[in-house]
Structure 1
Amino acid sequence: MIPPIKSPKRVMSPTLEKKPFFSAVLRDITASCDSIVKLSVKVTGEPKPAVSWSKDGKAISQGGKYELFEDQCSAHLEIYESEVSDSGVYKCTATNSSGAVSTSCTVTVQAPKSSAMISEEVLRKEMIHEEIRSSVTEVKSSEIQKSVREGQSLTLRANIHGASNIKWILNGQQLANSEQYRYGVSGSDQTLTIRCVTQREQGIITCQAQTEQGLVRCQFNTDVTPKSSEAPHFLVQPRSQNVDQGQNVMFTCEIAGDPSPEVEWLKDNTIICVTPNIKLSRSKNSYTLEICEATVADSGKYTIKARNQFGQCSATSSLNVLSTPPKIEALPQHVSAEPGKSLSVAGMFSGDPAPSVQWVRSGRTLPNGDERFHVDNAADLSTLMISAVKEDDAGAYTLRLSNELGSDSATVNVHIRSM
Protein backbone atom coordinates (compact mmCIF):
# COMPACT_ATOMS: atom_id res chain seq x y z
CA MET A 1 0.00 0.00 0.00
CA ILE A 2 1.43 3.36 -1.03
CA PRO A 3 1.49 5.77 1.90
CA PRO A 4 -0.36 9.07 1.31
CA ILE A 5 1.72 12.02 0.23
CA LYS A 6 1.77 14.70 2.93
CA SER A 7 1.58 18.34 1.98
CA PRO A 8 4.61 20.38 3.05
CA LYS A 9 4.07 22.43 6.19
CA ARG A 10 3.29 26.07 5.58
CA VAL A 11 5.96 28.34 6.98
CA MET A 12 4.77 31.78 8.05
CA SER A 13 7.09 34.62 7.13
CA PRO A 14 8.10 36.66 10.17
CA THR A 15 6.78 40.21 10.33
CA LEU A 16 9.56 42.67 9.50
CA GLU A 17 9.91 45.46 12.03
CA LYS A 18 10.70 48.92 10.70
CA LYS A 19 11.87 51.93 12.67
CA PRO A 20 9.51 54.93 12.35
CA PHE A 21 10.25 57.23 9.38
CA PHE A 22 8.82 60.68 8.61
CA SER A 23 7.99 61.00 4.90
CA ALA A 24 6.65 64.50 5.60
CA VAL A 25 8.28 66.51 8.40
CA LEU A 26 7.29 69.65 10.32
CA ARG A 27 8.03 73.05 8.76
CA ASP A 28 8.38 76.44 10.47
CA ILE A 29 5.12 78.38 10.38
CA THR A 30 4.04 81.96 11.04
CA ALA A 31 0.40 82.72 11.87
CA SER A 32 -1.70 85.61 13.12
CA CYS A 33 -3.55 85.81 16.45
CA ASP A 34 -6.92 84.01 16.72
CA SER A 35 -6.16 81.84 13.68
CA ILE A 36 -6.02 78.03 13.66
CA VAL A 37 -2.43 76.73 13.53
CA LYS A 38 -2.20 73.35 11.81
CA LEU A 39 0.85 71.06 12.08
CA SER A 40 0.94 67.77 10.16
CA VAL A 41 3.39 64.90 9.56
CA LYS A 42 3.38 61.65 7.64
CA VAL A 43 5.00 58.71 9.40
CA THR A 44 5.43 55.01 8.63
CA GLY A 45 6.81 52.10 10.63
CA GLU A 46 6.11 48.50 11.65
CA PRO A 47 4.53 48.02 14.10
CA LYS A 48 2.50 51.23 13.70
CA PRO A 49 4.28 53.99 15.66
CA ALA A 50 2.70 55.82 18.59
CA VAL A 51 2.75 59.59 18.01
CA SER A 52 3.22 62.26 20.72
CA TRP A 53 3.53 66.06 20.61
CA SER A 54 5.33 68.60 22.80
CA LYS A 55 5.89 72.38 22.98
CA ASP A 56 9.18 73.70 24.34
CA GLY A 57 9.82 70.28 25.91
CA LYS A 58 6.40 70.00 27.61
CA ALA A 59 3.96 67.27 26.50
CA ILE A 60 0.75 68.35 24.73
CA SER A 61 -2.48 66.47 25.45
CA GLN A 62 -5.91 66.49 23.85
CA GLY A 63 -8.28 69.19 25.10
CA GLY A 64 -8.70 72.94 25.46
CA LYS A 65 -7.23 74.70 22.47
CA TYR A 66 -5.32 71.58 21.32
CA GLU A 67 -6.83 69.05 18.89
CA LEU A 68 -4.82 65.85 18.22
CA PHE A 69 -5.91 63.32 15.63
CA GLU A 70 -4.57 60.76 13.15
CA ASP A 71 -5.73 59.40 9.81
CA GLN A 72 -4.01 56.61 7.91
CA CYS A 73 -0.27 57.47 7.94
CA SER A 74 -0.71 61.11 8.98
CA ALA A 75 -0.78 62.77 12.41
CA HIS A 76 -2.08 66.26 13.06
CA LEU A 77 -1.97 68.94 15.77
CA GLU A 78 -4.35 71.92 15.53
CA ILE A 79 -4.14 74.95 17.84
CA TYR A 80 -7.38 76.94 18.08
CA GLU A 81 -7.68 80.63 19.01
CA SER A 82 -3.90 81.00 18.80
CA GLU A 83 -2.11 83.63 20.87
CA VAL A 84 1.41 85.03 20.96
CA SER A 85 2.05 82.76 23.95
CA ASP A 86 1.54 79.76 21.63
CA SER A 87 4.80 80.65 19.83
CA GLY A 88 7.59 78.18 20.47
CA VAL A 89 9.30 74.99 19.31
CA TYR A 90 6.90 72.13 18.61
CA LYS A 91 8.12 68.54 18.34
CA CYS A 92 6.41 65.42 17.00
CA THR A 93 7.86 62.06 18.14
CA ALA A 94 7.01 58.67 16.63
CA THR A 95 7.91 55.55 18.64
CA ASN A 96 7.63 51.79 18.16
CA SER A 97 9.56 48.71 19.31
CA SER A 98 12.29 49.40 16.72
CA GLY A 99 13.09 52.92 17.89
CA ALA A 100 11.95 56.54 17.91
CA VAL A 101 12.36 59.57 15.61
CA SER A 102 11.39 63.22 16.00
CA THR A 103 10.78 66.27 13.83
CA SER A 104 10.56 69.86 15.08
CA CYS A 105 9.50 73.28 13.87
CA THR A 106 9.20 76.83 15.18
CA VAL A 107 5.72 78.35 15.40
CA THR A 108 5.51 82.15 15.47
CA VAL A 109 2.14 83.72 16.30
CA GLN A 110 2.05 87.39 15.35
CA ALA A 111 -0.29 89.82 17.04
CA PRO A 112 -2.37 92.40 15.17
CA LYS A 113 -0.52 95.65 14.56
CA SER A 114 -1.70 99.23 15.11
CA SER A 115 0.01 102.57 15.32
CA ALA A 116 1.17 101.40 18.72
CA MET A 117 2.25 98.04 17.24
CA ILE A 118 0.10 95.85 19.48
CA SER A 119 1.42 92.30 19.90
CA GLU A 120 -0.62 89.90 22.10
CA GLU A 121 -1.94 92.99 23.73
CA VAL A 122 1.65 94.26 23.24
CA LEU A 123 2.01 98.04 23.01
CA ARG A 124 4.89 99.74 21.23
CA LYS A 125 5.67 103.46 21.27
CA GLU A 126 8.27 104.95 18.94
CA MET A 127 10.24 107.67 20.68
CA ILE A 128 10.46 111.15 19.21
CA HIS A 129 13.68 112.73 20.47
CA GLU A 130 13.79 116.42 21.14
CA GLU A 131 17.04 118.16 21.93
CA ILE A 132 16.81 121.23 24.10
CA ARG A 133 19.41 123.21 25.98
CA SER A 134 18.14 121.98 29.32
CA SER A 135 20.04 119.05 30.84
CA VAL A 136 16.69 117.17 31.03
CA THR A 137 14.75 116.15 27.92
CA GLU A 138 11.30 114.59 28.44
CA VAL A 139 9.50 112.99 25.52
CA LYS A 140 5.94 111.82 26.11
CA SER A 141 4.08 109.72 23.58
CA SER A 142 0.51 110.66 22.94
CA GLU A 143 -1.81 108.87 25.31
CA ILE A 144 -3.77 106.13 23.60
CA GLN A 145 -6.45 104.41 25.62
CA LYS A 146 -5.88 100.76 24.91
CA SER A 147 -7.70 97.88 26.57
CA VAL A 148 -5.59 94.96 27.75
CA ARG A 149 -7.39 91.82 28.83
CA GLU A 150 -6.78 90.68 32.38
CA GLY A 151 -4.79 87.45 32.55
CA GLN A 152 -2.91 88.08 29.27
CA SER A 153 0.81 88.76 29.05
CA LEU A 154 1.81 92.31 28.07
CA THR A 155 5.01 93.60 26.49
CA LEU A 156 5.80 97.33 26.25
CA ARG A 157 8.52 98.54 23.86
CA ALA A 158 10.20 101.96 24.00
CA ASN A 159 12.63 102.82 21.19
CA ILE A 160 15.41 104.79 22.95
CA HIS A 161 18.84 105.07 21.30
CA GLY A 162 21.86 105.10 23.59
CA ALA A 163 19.78 104.42 26.69
CA SER A 164 21.26 103.70 30.10
CA ASN A 165 20.03 103.57 33.69
CA ILE A 166 16.66 102.14 32.59
CA LYS A 167 13.70 102.34 34.96
CA TRP A 168 10.12 101.22 34.47
CA ILE A 169 7.57 103.04 36.64
CA LEU A 170 3.92 102.09 37.28
CA ASN A 171 1.71 104.90 38.60
CA GLY A 172 4.72 106.56 40.24
CA GLN A 173 6.14 103.33 41.74
CA GLN A 174 9.36 101.89 40.28
CA LEU A 175 9.04 98.25 39.16
CA ALA A 176 11.81 95.85 40.13
CA ASN A 177 13.09 93.40 37.52
CA SER A 178 11.31 90.15 38.51
CA GLU A 179 9.36 87.15 37.21
CA GLN A 180 6.22 89.31 36.97
CA TYR A 181 8.02 92.36 35.50
CA ARG A 182 10.81 91.30 33.17
CA TYR A 183 13.20 93.98 31.84
CA GLY A 184 14.65 93.33 28.40
CA VAL A 185 16.43 94.80 25.37
CA SER A 186 15.63 94.07 21.71
CA GLY A 187 17.88 96.07 19.39
CA SER A 188 17.33 99.71 20.37
CA ASP A 189 14.04 98.80 22.11
CA GLN A 190 13.77 98.78 25.88
CA THR A 191 11.11 96.22 26.82
CA LEU A 192 9.02 95.41 29.84
CA THR A 193 7.12 92.12 29.84
CA ILE A 194 4.33 91.70 32.38
CA ARG A 195 3.77 87.97 32.77
CA CYS A 196 0.12 88.13 33.85
CA VAL A 197 -1.80 91.40 33.71
CA THR A 198 -4.05 92.28 36.66
CA GLN A 199 -6.08 95.34 37.61
CA ARG A 200 -2.95 96.62 39.40
CA GLU A 201 -1.33 97.37 36.03
CA GLN A 202 -4.08 99.81 35.02
CA GLY A 203 -2.88 103.40 34.67
CA ILE A 204 0.34 105.06 33.53
CA ILE A 205 3.47 102.98 32.86
CA THR A 206 6.61 104.97 32.07
CA CYS A 207 9.98 103.94 30.67
CA GLN A 208 12.70 106.32 31.91
CA ALA A 209 16.24 106.29 30.55
CA GLN A 210 19.38 108.45 30.52
CA THR A 211 20.73 109.44 27.06
CA GLU A 212 23.31 111.90 25.72
CA GLN A 213 20.48 114.40 25.30
CA GLY A 214 19.41 113.96 28.92
CA LEU A 215 16.65 112.16 30.73
CA VAL A 216 14.07 110.63 28.37
CA ARG A 217 10.66 109.28 29.30
CA CYS A 218 8.19 107.23 27.25
CA GLN A 219 4.68 106.96 28.65
CA PHE A 220 2.02 104.28 28.15
CA ASN A 221 -1.62 104.57 29.23
CA THR A 222 -3.12 101.11 29.82
CA ASP A 223 -6.72 100.15 30.53
CA VAL A 224 -7.13 96.62 31.91
CA THR A 225 -10.49 95.03 31.07
CA PRO A 226 -11.76 92.36 33.48
CA LYS A 227 -11.23 88.77 32.43
CA SER A 228 -14.43 87.28 31.13
CA SER A 229 -15.70 84.18 32.84
CA GLU A 230 -18.25 81.64 31.70
CA ALA A 231 -18.68 78.08 32.93
CA PRO A 232 -19.02 75.46 30.16
CA HIS A 233 -22.59 74.73 29.04
CA PHE A 234 -24.18 72.83 26.17
CA LEU A 235 -25.71 74.61 23.20
CA VAL A 236 -26.46 71.24 21.56
CA GLN A 237 -26.24 67.88 23.35
CA PRO A 238 -25.25 64.55 21.71
CA ARG A 239 -28.14 62.18 20.93
CA SER A 240 -28.52 58.44 21.57
CA GLN A 241 -28.45 56.20 18.49
CA ASN A 242 -29.41 52.72 17.28
CA VAL A 243 -27.38 51.54 14.28
CA ASP A 244 -26.73 48.34 12.36
CA GLN A 245 -23.36 46.71 12.67
CA GLY A 246 -20.85 48.09 10.16
CA GLN A 247 -22.35 51.57 10.03
CA ASN A 248 -20.41 54.72 10.90
CA VAL A 249 -21.52 56.60 14.03
CA MET A 250 -21.08 60.31 14.87
CA PHE A 251 -21.81 61.90 18.26
CA THR A 252 -21.83 65.70 17.86
CA CYS A 253 -22.41 68.49 20.37
CA GLU A 254 -21.77 72.20 20.85
CA ILE A 255 -20.27 73.59 24.07
CA ALA A 256 -19.76 77.24 25.02
CA GLY A 257 -17.46 78.52 27.76
CA ASP A 258 -14.84 81.20 28.43
CA PRO A 259 -12.04 80.41 28.60
CA SER A 260 -12.43 77.58 26.10
CA PRO A 261 -13.02 74.41 28.14
CA GLU A 262 -10.94 71.25 28.18
CA VAL A 263 -12.99 68.35 26.81
CA GLU A 264 -12.76 64.58 27.16
CA TRP A 265 -14.91 61.70 25.90
CA LEU A 266 -15.61 58.53 27.90
CA LYS A 267 -17.21 55.17 27.12
CA ASP A 268 -18.76 53.43 30.10
CA ASN A 269 -16.73 55.80 32.36
CA THR A 270 -13.40 54.98 30.65
CA ILE A 271 -11.53 57.74 28.80
CA ILE A 272 -11.58 57.27 25.02
CA CYS A 273 -8.30 57.46 23.09
CA VAL A 274 -7.88 57.94 19.35
CA THR A 275 -7.64 54.59 17.52
CA PRO A 276 -7.82 53.56 13.85
CA ASN A 277 -11.64 53.33 14.10
CA ILE A 278 -12.27 56.18 16.60
CA LYS A 279 -11.69 59.83 15.70
CA LEU A 280 -12.07 62.92 17.91
CA SER A 281 -12.35 66.37 16.33
CA ARG A 282 -13.26 69.96 17.13
CA SER A 283 -14.35 72.96 15.07
CA LYS A 284 -14.82 76.12 17.18
CA ASN A 285 -17.59 75.20 19.68
CA SER A 286 -18.48 71.91 17.94
CA TYR A 287 -17.04 68.61 19.24
CA THR A 288 -17.38 65.28 17.42
CA LEU A 289 -16.72 61.63 18.24
CA GLU A 290 -16.74 59.38 15.17
CA ILE A 291 -16.78 55.55 15.26
CA CYS A 292 -15.98 53.87 11.93
CA GLU A 293 -17.74 50.59 11.09
CA ALA A 294 -19.30 50.09 14.51
CA THR A 295 -19.45 46.62 16.05
CA VAL A 296 -21.51 45.18 18.91
CA ALA A 297 -18.51 45.85 21.20
CA ASP A 298 -18.97 49.58 20.56
CA SER A 299 -22.40 49.55 22.23
CA GLY A 300 -22.51 51.43 25.54
CA LYS A 301 -22.85 54.80 27.26
CA TYR A 302 -20.83 57.68 25.78
CA THR A 303 -20.16 60.76 27.93
CA ILE A 304 -18.56 64.09 27.04
CA LYS A 305 -17.18 66.23 29.88
CA ALA A 306 -16.10 69.87 29.58
CA ARG A 307 -14.45 71.97 32.30
CA ASN A 308 -12.68 75.26 32.91
CA GLN A 309 -11.84 77.14 36.11
CA PHE A 310 -15.40 78.42 36.40
CA GLY A 311 -17.25 75.10 36.25
CA GLN A 312 -17.98 71.97 34.27
CA CYS A 313 -20.76 70.19 32.41
CA SER A 314 -21.34 66.70 31.01
CA ALA A 315 -23.84 64.83 28.85
CA THR A 316 -24.34 61.11 28.26
CA SER A 317 -25.89 59.34 25.28
CA SER A 318 -26.16 55.67 24.41
CA LEU A 319 -25.17 53.63 21.38
CA ASN A 320 -26.87 50.35 20.55
CA VAL A 321 -25.26 48.44 17.69
CA LEU A 322 -27.83 45.97 16.39
CA SER A 323 -26.75 42.42 15.55
CA THR A 324 -28.40 40.25 12.90
CA PRO A 325 -29.84 36.70 12.88
CA PRO A 326 -28.15 34.13 10.64
CA LYS A 327 -29.10 34.06 6.99
CA ILE A 328 -27.97 31.90 4.07
CA GLU A 329 -27.14 34.38 1.35
CA ALA A 330 -26.30 31.93 -1.46
CA LEU A 331 -26.46 28.12 -1.95
CA PRO A 332 -26.99 26.19 -5.21
CA GLN A 333 -30.17 24.09 -5.42
CA HIS A 334 -28.62 21.34 -7.58
CA VAL A 335 -25.07 20.06 -8.19
CA SER A 336 -23.82 16.95 -10.02
CA ALA A 337 -20.62 14.92 -10.23
CA GLU A 338 -19.29 11.76 -11.80
CA PRO A 339 -18.44 8.69 -9.68
CA GLY A 340 -14.84 8.73 -8.45
CA LYS A 341 -14.51 12.50 -8.85
CA SER A 342 -14.45 15.16 -6.13
CA LEU A 343 -17.41 17.41 -5.36
CA SER A 344 -17.55 20.79 -3.56
CA VAL A 345 -20.65 22.70 -2.45
CA ALA A 346 -20.23 26.21 -1.00
CA GLY A 347 -22.78 28.31 0.84
CA MET A 348 -22.43 32.00 1.74
CA PHE A 349 -24.05 33.27 4.95
CA SER A 350 -24.27 36.23 7.35
CA GLY A 351 -25.11 36.74 11.01
CA ASP A 352 -23.90 38.47 14.15
CA PRO A 353 -22.82 36.99 16.46
CA ALA A 354 -21.16 34.47 14.11
CA PRO A 355 -23.56 31.51 13.78
CA SER A 356 -22.75 27.85 14.29
CA VAL A 357 -22.64 25.93 10.99
CA GLN A 358 -23.71 22.33 10.23
CA TRP A 359 -24.07 20.18 7.11
CA VAL A 360 -26.72 17.47 7.59
CA ARG A 361 -27.73 14.47 5.46
CA SER A 362 -30.51 12.05 6.39
CA GLY A 363 -30.55 13.43 9.95
CA ARG A 364 -26.81 12.91 10.47
CA THR A 365 -24.27 15.72 10.87
CA LEU A 366 -21.34 15.46 8.44
CA PRO A 367 -18.60 14.31 8.19
CA ASN A 368 -20.00 11.67 10.58
CA GLY A 369 -16.73 9.69 10.67
CA ASP A 370 -16.45 9.33 6.89
CA GLU A 371 -13.00 10.52 5.79
CA ARG A 372 -14.34 11.27 2.29
CA PHE A 373 -16.40 14.13 3.73
CA HIS A 374 -14.79 17.38 4.87
CA VAL A 375 -16.34 20.68 6.02
CA ASP A 376 -14.39 23.96 5.80
CA ASN A 377 -15.85 27.04 7.51
CA ALA A 378 -14.69 30.65 7.07
CA ALA A 379 -16.13 33.95 8.33
CA ASP A 380 -19.03 33.99 5.86
CA LEU A 381 -18.53 30.84 3.75
CA SER A 382 -19.00 27.13 4.45
CA THR A 383 -17.82 24.48 2.00
CA LEU A 384 -18.76 20.78 1.96
CA MET A 385 -16.23 18.63 0.07
CA ILE A 386 -16.73 14.98 -0.96
CA SER A 387 -13.80 13.04 -2.42
CA ALA A 388 -14.14 9.84 -4.53
CA VAL A 389 -17.86 10.36 -5.04
CA LYS A 390 -20.06 7.24 -4.98
CA GLU A 391 -23.51 6.70 -6.47
CA ASP A 392 -25.09 6.39 -3.04
CA ASP A 393 -23.77 9.90 -2.18
CA ALA A 394 -26.69 11.27 -4.18
CA GLY A 395 -29.42 12.96 -2.18
CA ALA A 396 -30.33 16.08 -0.23
CA TYR A 397 -27.73 17.93 1.85
CA THR A 398 -28.88 20.66 4.25
CA LEU A 399 -26.84 23.67 5.48
CA ARG A 400 -28.02 24.82 8.92
CA LEU A 401 -27.11 28.04 10.76
CA SER A 402 -28.00 29.21 14.27
CA ASN A 403 -27.15 31.86 16.89
CA GLU A 404 -29.02 33.36 19.85
CA LEU A 405 -31.04 35.56 17.48
CA GLY A 406 -32.41 32.77 15.28
CA SER A 407 -31.63 30.13 12.68
CA ASP A 408 -31.76 29.46 8.93
CA SER A 409 -31.35 26.45 6.63
CA ALA A 410 -31.27 25.57 2.93
CA THR A 411 -30.94 22.32 0.96
CA VAL A 412 -28.90 21.36 -2.09
CA ASN A 413 -29.64 18.22 -4.15
CA VAL A 414 -26.60 16.21 -5.25
CA HIS A 415 -26.90 14.11 -8.44
CA ILE A 416 -24.38 11.46 -9.46
CA ARG A 417 -24.11 11.05 -13.24
CA SER A 418 -23.99 7.49 -14.58
CA MET A 419 -20.83 6.42 -16.42
Structure 2
Amino acid sequence: MAAMFFKYLDLDDPVVTVHQSVGEAKEQFYYERTVFLRCAANSNPPVRYSWRRGHEFLSQGSDKGVEIYEPFFTQGETKILKLKNLRPQDYANYTCTASVRSVCGIPDKSVLFQLTNTTASPSIKLLAEDPIVANPGQTVTLVCISTGGEPMPVLTWVRHGETLPQNSLLNGGTLTIPAISTEDTGIYSCVSSNNVGNPAKKSTNIIVRGMCP
Protein backbone atom coordinates (compact mmCIF):
# COMPACT_ATOMS: atom_id res chain seq x y z
CA MET A 1 0.00 0.00 0.00
CA ALA A 2 2.82 2.41 0.84
CA ALA A 3 4.44 1.90 -2.56
CA MET A 4 1.15 2.66 -4.33
CA PHE A 5 0.66 5.83 -2.24
CA PHE A 6 4.09 7.27 -3.03
CA LYS A 7 3.73 6.42 -6.71
CA TYR A 8 0.66 8.68 -6.81
CA LEU A 9 2.55 11.73 -5.51
CA ASP A 10 3.18 14.01 -8.45
CA LEU A 11 3.09 17.56 -9.79
CA ASP A 12 2.26 18.20 -13.44
CA ASP A 13 3.59 21.18 -15.36
CA PRO A 14 1.37 24.20 -14.68
CA VAL A 15 -0.65 25.70 -17.54
CA VAL A 16 -1.63 29.37 -17.89
CA THR A 17 -4.85 30.24 -19.71
CA VAL A 18 -5.99 33.79 -20.49
CA HIS A 19 -9.50 35.22 -20.66
CA GLN A 20 -11.12 38.62 -21.05
CA SER A 21 -14.12 39.96 -19.19
CA VAL A 22 -17.43 38.70 -20.60
CA GLY A 23 -18.86 40.94 -23.30
CA GLU A 24 -15.59 42.55 -24.32
CA ALA A 25 -13.98 42.36 -27.74
CA LYS A 26 -12.56 38.92 -28.49
CA GLU A 27 -10.09 39.83 -31.20
CA GLN A 28 -7.45 41.71 -29.23
CA PHE A 29 -6.60 42.69 -25.69
CA TYR A 30 -6.88 46.46 -26.01
CA TYR A 31 -6.21 49.03 -23.33
CA GLU A 32 -8.82 49.41 -20.58
CA ARG A 33 -9.73 45.74 -20.73
CA THR A 34 -9.77 43.43 -17.75
CA VAL A 35 -7.82 40.22 -18.28
CA PHE A 36 -7.66 37.07 -16.17
CA LEU A 37 -4.60 34.80 -16.13
CA ARG A 38 -5.48 31.40 -14.66
CA CYS A 39 -2.76 29.02 -13.49
CA ALA A 40 -3.58 25.37 -12.84
CA ALA A 41 -1.65 22.14 -12.33
CA ASN A 42 -2.74 18.65 -11.39
CA SER A 43 -0.95 17.57 -8.25
CA ASN A 44 -0.93 15.40 -5.18
CA PRO A 45 -0.57 16.81 -2.54
CA PRO A 46 -2.41 20.12 -3.18
CA VAL A 47 -0.38 22.76 -4.95
CA ARG A 48 0.40 26.36 -3.97
CA TYR A 49 0.91 29.04 -6.63
CA SER A 50 2.92 32.25 -6.84
CA TRP A 51 3.13 34.88 -9.57
CA ARG A 52 5.89 37.13 -10.91
CA ARG A 53 5.67 39.94 -13.46
CA GLY A 54 9.14 40.07 -14.93
CA HIS A 55 11.31 39.74 -11.81
CA GLU A 56 8.69 41.34 -9.53
CA PHE A 57 6.87 39.05 -7.10
CA LEU A 58 3.12 39.79 -7.07
CA SER A 59 1.06 39.47 -3.91
CA GLN A 60 -2.40 40.63 -2.93
CA GLY A 61 -2.23 44.39 -2.32
CA SER A 62 1.23 44.86 -3.86
CA ASP A 63 -0.23 46.54 -6.96
CA LYS A 64 -3.56 48.38 -7.07
CA GLY A 65 -4.10 47.19 -10.63
CA VAL A 66 -3.76 43.51 -9.73
CA GLU A 67 -6.01 41.17 -7.76
CA ILE A 68 -5.13 37.59 -6.88
CA TYR A 69 -7.97 35.09 -6.42
CA GLU A 70 -7.38 32.18 -4.08
CA PRO A 71 -9.33 28.95 -4.63
CA PHE A 72 -12.67 28.67 -2.84
CA PHE A 73 -14.73 25.48 -2.72
CA THR A 74 -13.16 24.11 -5.88
CA GLN A 75 -11.82 20.67 -6.65
CA GLY A 76 -8.10 21.12 -6.95
CA GLU A 77 -6.35 24.42 -6.36
CA THR A 78 -6.05 27.19 -8.92
CA LYS A 79 -4.95 30.77 -8.68
CA ILE A 80 -6.24 33.56 -10.90
CA LEU A 81 -4.44 36.81 -11.54
CA LYS A 82 -6.84 39.65 -12.43
CA LEU A 83 -5.37 42.59 -14.34
CA LYS A 84 -7.86 45.44 -14.01
CA ASN A 85 -8.02 47.88 -16.94
CA LEU A 86 -4.76 46.97 -18.61
CA ARG A 87 -1.97 49.50 -18.24
CA PRO A 88 1.24 49.72 -20.31
CA GLN A 89 3.21 48.00 -17.53
CA ASP A 90 0.80 45.07 -17.57
CA TYR A 91 2.08 43.98 -20.97
CA ALA A 92 4.92 41.85 -19.65
CA ASN A 93 6.18 38.33 -18.98
CA TYR A 94 4.24 36.53 -16.24
CA THR A 95 5.62 33.49 -14.47
CA CYS A 96 3.41 31.14 -12.48
CA THR A 97 5.23 28.79 -10.11
CA ALA A 98 3.50 25.71 -8.71
CA SER A 99 4.86 24.20 -5.52
CA VAL A 100 4.00 21.33 -3.20
CA ARG A 101 6.54 22.65 -0.68
CA SER A 102 9.17 20.02 -1.51
CA VAL A 103 6.99 17.13 -0.33
CA CYS A 104 8.89 13.91 -1.03
CA GLY A 105 11.46 15.95 -2.93
CA ILE A 106 9.05 17.04 -5.69
CA PRO A 107 10.58 20.22 -7.18
CA ASP A 108 8.67 23.39 -8.03
CA LYS A 109 7.53 23.83 -11.64
CA SER A 110 7.05 27.10 -13.52
CA VAL A 111 5.46 28.33 -16.73
CA LEU A 112 5.91 31.67 -18.48
CA PHE A 113 3.28 33.58 -20.46
CA GLN A 114 3.99 36.75 -22.41
CA LEU A 115 1.05 39.16 -22.48
CA THR A 116 1.27 41.78 -25.24
CA ASN A 117 -1.10 44.26 -26.85
CA THR A 118 -1.48 41.79 -29.73
CA THR A 119 -2.43 38.80 -27.57
CA ALA A 120 -5.53 37.29 -29.15
CA SER A 121 -7.62 34.13 -29.20
CA PRO A 122 -7.30 31.82 -32.22
CA SER A 123 -9.34 31.86 -35.42
CA ILE A 124 -9.26 29.40 -38.30
CA LYS A 125 -10.59 28.75 -41.79
CA LEU A 126 -11.49 25.30 -43.06
CA LEU A 127 -10.94 24.85 -46.79
CA ALA A 128 -13.38 22.00 -47.31
CA GLU A 129 -16.96 21.39 -48.37
CA ASP A 130 -19.54 20.18 -45.89
CA PRO A 131 -20.39 17.41 -46.31
CA ILE A 132 -17.65 15.73 -48.32
CA VAL A 133 -18.89 12.72 -50.30
CA ALA A 134 -16.12 10.35 -51.34
CA ASN A 135 -15.81 6.98 -53.07
CA PRO A 136 -13.99 4.08 -51.37
CA GLY A 137 -10.28 4.13 -52.21
CA GLN A 138 -10.28 7.87 -52.89
CA THR A 139 -7.76 10.18 -51.21
CA VAL A 140 -9.41 12.91 -49.15
CA THR A 141 -7.48 15.99 -48.03
CA LEU A 142 -8.76 18.50 -45.47
CA VAL A 143 -6.96 21.83 -45.18
CA CYS A 144 -7.25 24.00 -42.07
CA ILE A 145 -5.39 27.30 -41.83
CA SER A 146 -4.84 29.62 -38.91
CA THR A 147 -6.17 33.14 -39.57
CA GLY A 148 -5.35 34.71 -36.22
CA GLY A 149 -4.12 34.23 -32.69
CA GLU A 150 -1.20 35.34 -30.56
CA PRO A 151 0.78 33.45 -29.34
CA MET A 152 0.89 31.20 -32.40
CA PRO A 153 -1.92 28.63 -32.08
CA VAL A 154 -1.46 24.88 -32.42
CA LEU A 155 -3.71 23.11 -34.95
CA THR A 156 -4.98 19.58 -34.29
CA TRP A 157 -7.48 17.28 -35.98
CA VAL A 158 -10.00 15.12 -34.14
CA ARG A 159 -12.75 12.77 -35.25
CA HIS A 160 -15.99 12.90 -33.29
CA GLY A 161 -16.41 9.73 -31.24
CA GLU A 162 -13.54 7.95 -32.97
CA THR A 163 -9.79 8.06 -33.39
CA LEU A 164 -8.39 9.30 -36.69
CA PRO A 165 -7.94 6.57 -39.33
CA GLN A 166 -4.66 4.70 -38.84
CA ASN A 167 -3.37 5.64 -42.28
CA SER A 168 -4.04 9.37 -41.75
CA LEU A 169 -1.23 11.78 -42.64
CA LEU A 170 -0.89 15.04 -40.73
CA ASN A 171 1.14 17.98 -42.00
CA GLY A 172 0.47 21.07 -39.91
CA GLY A 173 -3.19 21.88 -40.45
CA THR A 174 -3.55 19.49 -43.41
CA LEU A 175 -5.14 16.08 -42.85
CA THR A 176 -4.86 13.51 -45.65
CA ILE A 177 -6.73 10.20 -45.64
CA PRO A 178 -5.42 7.97 -48.46
CA ALA A 179 -7.54 5.08 -49.72
CA ILE A 180 -10.53 6.10 -47.64
CA SER A 181 -13.01 3.40 -46.62
CA THR A 182 -16.59 3.33 -45.36
CA GLU A 183 -15.22 2.92 -41.82
CA ASP A 184 -13.69 6.39 -42.11
CA THR A 185 -17.10 8.08 -42.37
CA GLY A 186 -17.61 10.64 -39.63
CA ILE A 187 -17.34 14.24 -38.45
CA TYR A 188 -13.80 15.62 -38.58
CA SER A 189 -12.89 18.78 -36.67
CA CYS A 190 -9.94 21.12 -36.84
CA VAL A 191 -9.18 22.67 -33.45
CA SER A 192 -6.91 25.67 -32.89
CA SER A 193 -5.69 26.50 -29.39
CA ASN A 194 -3.18 28.90 -27.85
CA ASN A 195 -4.53 29.04 -24.25
CA VAL A 196 -6.08 32.46 -24.94
CA GLY A 197 -9.86 32.53 -24.78
CA ASN A 198 -11.67 29.50 -26.16
CA PRO A 199 -10.21 27.19 -28.81
CA ALA A 200 -11.48 27.74 -32.37
CA LYS A 201 -13.16 24.74 -33.98
CA LYS A 202 -14.54 24.02 -37.45
CA SER A 203 -15.93 20.70 -38.65
CA THR A 204 -16.96 18.84 -41.77
CA ASN A 205 -18.78 15.56 -42.29
CA ILE A 206 -17.12 12.95 -44.50
CA ILE A 207 -19.52 10.47 -46.10
CA VAL A 208 -18.01 7.47 -47.88
CA ARG A 209 -20.29 5.75 -50.34
CA GLY A 210 -20.93 2.07 -49.65
CA MET A 211 -19.63 -0.61 -51.99
CA CYS A 212 -22.24 -1.91 -54.43
CA PRO A 213 -23.17 -5.61 -53.95
Bigger relative contact order (CA 8 A; separation at least 6): 2
Structure with more strand by fraction: 1
Asked if these proteins are the same fold (TM beyond 0.5), I'd say no
TM-score normalised by L of structure 1: 0.21
Structure with more helix by fraction: 2
